[in-house]
Chains A and B, each alone.
Chain A
């Protein structure tokens, strides 16, 4: 009898020990995210710092216990800008029970939009293409679309142009949907009453010399070139304009050309590439840039230092983009937990859709709060205009909301 009790005691001890070890595992939940983007290959100059931004923010969240004992696991995969690889990564993340997807390229998001709808998983892309929100109700852009930023630049020209007549502009765009889509919105804005004369649309190639193009534009009386592309072709254009003495010393200088652009055309990488030719370049984005001191930019630089990032990454607005995408995801998880709900794709989707009014999310990374609603999946609605002065981007005026875009 005594022996029987002894056995029972051993079994009870074993069960107790097992439960003791299991208990903390159950308490410390891990929320699965997934990020697939181009760390190598086309557009990796943006994707690389973006991935580091997201990675560092998630590390920060786990180290400083932003979610208490809960952790966020966000595997980052290089898709080399290939839709097929993005799809594979997406399926892999789903197999790991991902609750929110951090995606990247316009093409890949378009390709996966049907899957997002079927799986009903919220997605925060790096692409700010306006068409994405129309393709899937589960896509949440972190900031205003490329179209908003491009039309925002155009509105600035229309409002601030000095001198007679309607300002003549040329569009310098990427030869893809990424470049063309905002141009269509620009044309719609002109049709809706934006007083600008679009003289020429240039779809750039891989030209290393733009002398002929610039001289042609000047002969047509073009005063403003609005760019919607990536930094390197803009840098080439700016260098050629400087060499030919065509760059306007001040905004709208008569007989010269003022160069302007949206999101991926600017940032510190442009200054590295174009050097002094970047002086006087106007650029819209919704992010704070490190050339301007502020609580966010100080923190961004501290984070970069903490996680041993180089100066280029630390000062890249794409690093801030990555951080902000992760920030929005973590904030949605935090709010869902706070509401006492289980963190799932469905609850995160609801939480994101409620992120407006009093519940708008002030990320500090951007110039305005992140607001989403059932009919509004564009996060930060305002854009900030910057201009290069003394080798650094400096804000020009206050953040504004473009009027001529729906």
Chain B
């Protein structure tokens, strides 16, 4: 590596430690810090509507959830079709606590960071439990096991009176230094909380991948028997991957519950599991930028399709329901085309972009 880390170009490392750096150059670090500053500062200058803040918060929550899914499916190579259920576990940990001790209990309203963490831990416990079949199952068989968990979760929530049979369980407004966070500040407050959480989780994932535990995930994905021969425990690694996925999903679930001020089963169905999977695939499986780009792309696409459908409805004949059909058709078509022409996901665009600047101002 160049001794001048401001103007380093190309790949030239003299130590393994250098190769494992999060930021290869100071310019990388600078851009990242500027990007973060931008994310934190823009709400102070731009008056975004509640609706837009809600959309952005939703994307950020999905980012946290997709971190987990990308760990288990992208890095560890274990297909999970029940990720929304893990998010639901986190959401219902909080909602169930609120139902037991009261939605305005101090634990819910004042100790919300702790509750978010607890939801993550409960999500991890469920993740580890659901991951147990991964010790014996692989590929589609494991996918079916996670699908079963999704089904059991939905059924249990809808059946158990403790969970209000799937109906909304309300959660009170939280408190911050200046007092209760009211409706006018609600979305902005949660934007910052979710953003901080997403950044911490992102850095945690990035760092995890630099450790032996992170490398274990990739090794087991690529060849579990070879990993076994090298002294890793493939079974435990898979369980551990599921636990990590459950942890991130649980945190996302608690954030969802706080932001929407309650939990109802409609937000954690199989449909949502598939959407999370679509986010991870479109973003780029097995990449950290993919976890960020996927949720942004899918949710933006969904909104654009909604607008397109609404616009088309103004001139298409009412009797044929064409405008209504346009939304799911268009959404599906764009995803299919995207996967056909860019199967490595949007993270690949990011990789190409970075490769260009890595050598800049020199070119191939």
Which A residues have a C-beta under 8 Å from some C-beta of B? 39-40, 48, 52, 75, 77-78, 81-84, 87-88, 91-92, 94-95, 106-108, 110-111, 113-115, 118-119, 175-177, 180, 307-310
- Residues from chain A with a CB closer than 8 A to the CB of B167 are 106-107, 110, 177
- Residues from chain A with a CB closer than 8 A to the CB of B54 are 87-88, 91
| Per-position binary interface string of chain B over residues 103-139, scored 1 when its CB falls under 8 Å from any chain A CB and 0 otherwise | 0000000000000000000000000000000000000
A120 to chain B, nearest CB (A): 11
Contacting pair A176 B158 (CB below 8 A): yes
Contacting pair B318 A307 (CB below 8 A): yes
Complex CA gap A106/B58 in Å reads: 22
Q: B212 in the interface, Cβ–Cβ < 8 Å?
A: no
Which residues of chain B from 164 to 179 have any CB-CB distance to chain A below 8 Å in the complex?
Answer: 164-168, 170
Which B residues have a C-beta under 8 Å from some C-beta of A? 49-51, 54-55, 58, 158-159, 164-168, 170, 183, 260-262, 264-267, 306, 309-310, 317-319, 321, 324, 327-328
B37 to chain A, nearest CB (A): 27
Contacting pair A107 B327 (CB below 8 A): no
- Residues from chain B with a CB closer than 8 A to the CB of A48 are 321, 324
Complex CA gap A247/B11 in Å reads: 79
Contacting pair A309 B319 (CB below 8 A): yes
What is the interface of chain A mostly: helix, strand, loop, or mixed?
helix
Complex CA gap A110/B327 in Å reads: 27
Contacting pair A180 B50 (CB below 8 A): no
Complex CA gap A176/B165 in Å reads: 7
B301 to chain A, nearest CB (A): 14
A203 to chain B, nearest CB (A): 9
Contacting pair B260 A111 (CB below 8 A): yes
A316 to chain B, nearest CB (A): 13
Contacting pair A91 B261 (CB below 8 A): no
What is the interface of chain B mostly: helix, strand, loop, or mixed?
helix
Contacting pair A107 B266 (CB below 8 A): yes
Contacting pair B260 A83 (CB below 8 A): yes
* Centre residue among A48, A92, A106 by max chain B CB count within 10 A: A92
Task: Give 3 nearest A-B pairs by CB, closest first.
Answer: A110-B168, A92-B51, A91-B51
Contact status of A78 and B306, CB under 8 A, knowing A88-B55, A177-B165? yes
B245 to chain A, nearest CB (A): 21
Q: Output the nearest chain A residue to B171 by Cβ-Cβ distance.
A: A114
Contacting pair B319 A111 (CB below 8 A): no
Contacting pair B324 A39 (CB below 8 A): yes
Q: Which of B165, B264, B306, B310 touches A111 (beta carbons < 8 Å)?
A: B264
Contacting pair B168 A107 (CB below 8 A): yes
Contacting pair B267 A83 (CB below 8 A): yes
A83-B260, A92-B49 known; 10 new pairs, CB 8 Å cut-off, are A83-B267, A84-B58, A91-B54, A92-B51, A94-B50, A94-B51, A107-B167, A111-B262, A113-B170, A114-B170
Complex CA gap A106/B165 in Å reads: 13
Contacting pair B327 A308 (CB below 8 A): no
- Residues from chain B with a CB closer than 8 A to the CB of A106 are 167
A79 to chain B, nearest CB (A): 10
Contacting pair A91 B58 (CB below 8 A): no
Can you show 11 pairs from A to B with CB atoms below 8 A apart? A82-B267, A83-B267, A88-B58, A92-B51, A107-B167, A107-B168, A107-B264, A107-B266, A110-B168, A113-B170, A177-B167
